[in-house]
Structure 1
Amino acid sequence: MKKLFSLFAAVLFSALSFAQITLTSDPAHSRIQFSVIHLGINDITGNFDKSTLTINADEKNFVNSQVNFTVDVNSINTHIDARDKHLKNADFFDAEQFPTMTFTSTSLKKTRNNYYTLKGNLTMHGVTKPVTLNLVYRGSHVNAKNKKTTHGYQVLGTIKRSDFNVGPNFPEAVISDLVRIKGDFEMAAQ
């Protein structure tokens, strides 16, 4: 019986040493924001109200983790209804034809404590291109009531809208080609 218990413990320890956990973002405490420069003089910001970040985290070596996010394009929100409708139409995102944006990581490299270079494929407006983003681990908090751990992650980067054929009829003098992205996510194991 002791040998059986020892064997079971060894197998369990072995499995745990290669354990992965799946972290999923909490919709109430997560958001992807974007910013463009309008007329060369002013930042215009908005966000996507519906997005999900998932990290299949390798607990032994985080750089082996897989990072994915999806965005509901129809949830775009710039706080101006007419602009939101315009951004959803064929002039920009064409949300009827392309309702979802996705990102799938291809590599994760630690640059310093809690900072990573995140490379992957972004699919937007029916176009898939490789992009490089920054991922920052902001820390964790244990809820005193339910003992669950919440982790904070931030994704930062800049992409070119022209790479994805978004707003091709709007020159850079009107709307900057560079779009800054900032995603803030509270995540917990599922």
Structure 2
Amino acid sequence: MKKLLLAIALLSCGVSAQAQKWNVDKSHSKLGFSVVHLSISDVEGAFKITEATMTSAKDDFTDAKFNIVADVNTVFTDNERRDTHLKSPDFFDAAKFPTLTFASKSISKVADRKYKVSGDLTMHGVTKPVTLDLVLNGTTTNRQGKKVAGFKASGAINRTAWGVGTMPAAMVGEDIELRASGEFIQE
């Protein structure tokens, strides 16, 4: 009987330790950016997230792995002429490089609900490591009875490191502020 109870306990521990897959709720998720224009004002924009998943076996998400894909052709800055220019070879070259991706490699907790997430950002055909601040907004259960987790990520990158844009920094800043928010639904 003791062996049976031990086997059941071990199996239940194994089940709870398995990574759970979470899928993004696209209608409640966004990848935004801002850049300084002419050294005096901010231009904000966004890309549509086309695919994003997270896996995690821990309730505090300290083992989470994120994979995010955004469509460069969806860039939106509320100015059609600028959006067309951003899609051109002068900036993102969306015809040649239609997606940007982030694949996390590690996550570390720095405070309650605050993390550093490191991974590879691929944009304009170039992959480089980045570290972003990540905040767990919380978890809840949606109307369908599924568990939902909300996150916000932010950080800065230098666009020229990815070969994005030939404009001088006095016209278009080199530092780009990234902001992402997303709801992930557990499968």
Confirm or deny: 8 A CA contact 1:135 1:156 kept in the other structure. yes
Runs of 4+ aligned residues of structure 1 deviating over 6 Å after TM superposition are 2-5
Contact 1:32 1:51 in 2 (8 A): no
Is the CA contact 1:18–1:60 (under 8 Å) kept in the aligned structure 2? no
Contact 1:53 1:185 in 2 (8 A): no
Calculate the aligned-residue CA RMSD, in Å. 1.9
Cα-to-partner distance string for 1:93-132 (whole Å, 9 max, x where unaligned)? 0011101111111211111011111111111000111111
Name the SS for the 2:34 alignment partner.
Answer: strand
Q: Which residue of 2 aligns with 1:109?
A: 108
Distance in structure 1 (CA, Å) of the matches to 2:9 and 2:130: 42
The count of aligned residue pairs is 187
Aligned counterpart, 2:42 = 43
**Secondary structure of the corresponding residue to residue 148 of structure 2:** strand
Query: Could you list the runs of 5+ residues in structure 1 that have no partner in the other structure?
Result: none
Between the aligned residues of both structures, percent identity stands at 37
**Paired residue for 2:154, among 149, 156, 159?**
156
Structure 2: which 5+ runs fail to align? none
Offset at residue 65 of structure 1 (A): 2.1
Instruction: Deviation per CA, 1:33-68: give whole Å up to 9, x if none.
Output: 000000011110010123433211122663222122
Does the 8 Å contact 1:136/1:153 carry over to 2? Answer: yes
1:180 to 171, 177, 182: 177
Cα distance in 1 for residues equivalent to 2:80 and 2:7: 60
| Aligned-partner Cα distance in 1 for 2:132–2:16 | 29
SS at match of 1:183: strand
Look up the match of 1:56: 55
1:146 alignment partner, SS class: coil
Residue equivalent to 1:96:
95
CA distance in 2, matches of 1:187, 1:7: 34
